[in-house]
């Protein structure tokens, strides 16, 4: 299936590792131009060099809790590519119980990023936003309530913003991963540091395994593509069936 992403101008935040890096790599492989963003320069530069094809991956550091840095990121992307077609907001403070940080990064930061980007996006269903949520936003998570609340709010933000920009033809969706394992990530550490928790999480999943970043990236690429132009205001769970509730 041709996703028709060749030449599209894409911004991906949180792109130095894990899910964000896999998303950026998927867009590059499809022929898109990708601006990768994260806070740490060394990891970000390394990630960009690993996935780049024909100069299609570039990068800029930014703290998505700082509005000035968000504005500079958007301006740099527009200067580099001449515009923006797709924004993948993979930002999270991963704040655990810290509500202030969760709000500042996951909600206020994401909202600023999207709204500033919308100023440079065409009124057409080729232009769209994908916010990365989490299964944690759909279930109770007692050890990280602020993170879970922020991800639930992310889905609400997506639904409202999708209605707000629908007349422009622009789509806004969420993709919510379940438990994803990758080098340096939470679940890789848990495998050795907290094996009881790791085994409990495995047992929660009908597949008895954790997900891979590439499995999330494939869904994001589809949702952002012209194969999904009648999809907006939707939250797609990519969690191996771990969320057992009925989504209404």
pLDDT tens string 8-28: 999 999 999 999 999 999 999
Which segments of the chain does DSSP mark as H helices, in order?
18-29, 41-51, 67-81, 99-102, 110-118, 145-165, 186-193, 195-204, 213-223
User: Can you spell out the DSSP letters for 173-199?
Assistant: EEEEE-SB--TTSHHHHHHHH-HHHHH
Q: Which CATH number fits domain 9-180+213-238: 3.40.50.720, 3.20.20.10, 2.60.40.10, 3.30.70.20?
A: 3.40.50.720
State yes or no: is 103 an active-site residue: no
Q: Which of 147, 173, 198, 224 is catalytic?
A: 147
Write the pLDDT tens digit of every residue in 33-71: 999 999 999 999 999 999 999 999 999 999 999 999 999
Domain ranges, ordered by start, for the chain: 9-180+213-238
- Listed range (41-55, 113-127, 176-190) with the worst mean pLDDT: 176-190
Model confidence over 93-113: pLDDT tens digits?
Answer: 776 788 898 899 999 999 999
């Amino acid at each position: 299936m041709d996703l028709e992403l060749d030449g599209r101008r894409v911004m991906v935040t949180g792109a130095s590792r894990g899910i964000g890096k896999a998303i950026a790599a998927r867009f590059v492989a499809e022929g898109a131009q990708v601006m990768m963003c994260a806070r740490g320069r060394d990891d970000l530069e390394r990630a960009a060099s690993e996935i780049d094809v024909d100069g299609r991956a570039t990068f800029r550091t930014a703290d998505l809790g700082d509005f000035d840095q968000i504005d500079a990121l958007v301006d740099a992307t527009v200067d580099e590519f001449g515009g923006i077609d797709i924004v993948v907001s993979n930002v999270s403070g991963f704040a655990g119980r810290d509500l202030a940080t969760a709000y500042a990064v996951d909600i206020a930061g994401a909202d600023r990023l999207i709204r500033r980007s919308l100023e440079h996006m065409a009124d057409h269903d080729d232009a769209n936003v994908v916010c990365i949520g989490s299964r944690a936003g759909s279930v109770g998570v007692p050890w990280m309530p602020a993170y879970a609340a922020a991800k639930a709010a992310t889905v609400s933000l997506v639904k409202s913003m999708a209605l707000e920009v629908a007349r422009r033809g622009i789509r806004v969706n969420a993709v919510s991963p379940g438990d994803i394992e990758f080098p340096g990530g939470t679940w890789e550490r848990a495998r050795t540091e907290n094996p009881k928790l790791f085994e409990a999480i495995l047992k929660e999943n009908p597949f008895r395994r954790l997900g891979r970043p590439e499995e999330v990236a494939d869904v994001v690429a589809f949702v952002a593509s012209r194969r999904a132009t009648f999809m907006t205001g939707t939250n797609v769970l990519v969690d191996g069936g771990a969320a057992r509730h009925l989504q209404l």
